[in-house]
Amino acid sequence: MSKMTLEQEEVRNQEYNEYVEQMTPKHNLWANMGKAFLLGGGICLLGQIILQIAAGVFGLKAEDAALWCSLLLVLLSVILTSCNVYGILANWGGAGALVPITGFANGVCASAVEFQKEGQVFGIGCQIFKIAGPVILYGIFSSWVLGLIYWLF
């Protein structure tokens, strides 16, 4: 194996850096933020529309309307994930797809869809919380710590 001279190594590194620069996708920060705002805002707008319809048209109390809103947003997220539409929306809207309730439902459903071929127990049952598990764990732990702090003070 021949050793490269320092000059040859520098040329090789420069060529590699140029190749990496050429292959790295370019992102427009403002366009990405705009898309995230539109998608996240659209999801929130849909939730607000559901709340208004539940309270205004069906005459539900605010608490019941909020429950129906949550239920319908989770259901819609699961349906869109199962039909491979939520992923397309998430690729377009980026962080806007992480609106908590729909993003969480997508995370749980995506794992279930991915591992359904492995069966009910070892596929779906064991893998369904692969993405959402850490969120649940740290959410419960954080609420416990905050509850303890509240109780102490």
Q: Where are the beta strands (DSSP E) in 82-127?
A: none
Of 44, 127, 126, 43, give the one whose Cα is nearest residue 90: 43
pLDDT at 1: 47
Q: What does the pLDDT read at residue 112?
A: 81
Confidence of residue 2 (pLDDT cuts 50, 70, 90): low
The Cα-based distances of 11 to 3, 15, 17, 24 in angstroms read 14, 6, 10, 20
| CB-CB contact of 90 with 106 (8 Å) | yes
Say whether pLDDT at 127 is over 80.
no
d(CA 82, CA 78): 6
pLDDT digits (tens, 9 = 90+) for 107-122: 888 888 877 777 777 7
Do residues 65 and 51 touch, judged by C-beta distance below 8 A? yes
Long-range contacts of the stretch 123-131 (C-beta < 8 A, 24+): 131/107
C-alpha dist (Å) from residue 91 to 57, 71, 149 = 35, 24, 39
Look at the block and give the residue holding tokens 């397309």. Answer: 88
| pLDDT single digits (tens) 85-109 | 999 999 999 999 988 889 888 888 8
For 13-72, what is each residue's pLDDT tens digit? 999 998 988 888 888 999 999 999 999 999 999 999 999 999 999 999 999 999 999 999
Flag whether the pTM goes above 0.95: no
Classify the phi-psi angles of 54: left when phi > 0, otherwise alpha if psi is within -120 to 50, otherwise beta: alpha
